Amino acid sequence: MKFNIKELKNLLVSVKQNHLQSVSIKKANLELIISKEILQLPSTSILVKQIPIASDLKNQASNELQLKTKLRKQPAQKNHFVEPELYFTIVSPMVGTFYRSPAPGEPHFIEVNDNVKINQTVCLVEAMKLMNEIEAEVSGEVVEILVKDGDIIDCGQALMKIKPEP
């Protein structure tokens, strides 16, 4: 399931007009939660819930059983919930070609599990024959690189996920 910006904007307007406190949409590998509860996150952050892939499905049942057992062993609390992992997603500010290194044959700017600092260059996006440096907006560990070197990317497309430093 894909959302385009117009559909998402219409959904947000509908939530506001109908005075809804929260909306949750789940389908296949997408989970979208819209809530009026204020979270203290930078505007470029995205909350990501890991969705299991087919190879993980057989282990999922035992993992869920272990998780339920752990939750049952904890003392009951009125507003108890499991806090999801929080990642910052670096998105492309433009349409172009994604490059992980400054030139062919040179080492990549970053690799998965590398620690990055704010304003550190993490990749390049070539647009109209100009190389645009994309910088990290947070310090933390690179969890996943979502685009392959040389891929054509869209404006707003997720490029990589960073787990912020505590």
Q: Tens digit of pLDDT for each residue in 81-119? A: 555 668 888 999 999 999 999 998 999 999 999 999 999
Distance between CA atoms of residues 120 and 55, nearest Å: 35
- Ramachandran bin of 150, using left for φ above 0, alpha for ψ from -120 to 50, beta for the remaining angles: left
Mean pLDDT along residues 131-158: 92
The pLDDT of residue 43 is 44
| 123 within 8 A of 99, measured Cβ to Cβ | yes
Q: Are strands 88-91 and 121-127 parallel, antiparallel or unpaired?
A: unpaired
Domain boundaries, the chain: 1-38, 88-164
**What length is written for the chain?**
166
Residues linked to residue 158 through DSSP beta bridges, in sequence order: 91
Q: Strand, helix or coil at 123? A: strand
Chain segment 48-71, per-residue pLDDT in tens: 444 444 444 444 444 444 544 454
At the top level of CATH, which class does the domain 88-164 belong to? mainly beta
Residue listed under structure tokens 């979208």:
32
- What is this structure's pTM? 0.50
Mean pLDDT along residues 137-166: 91
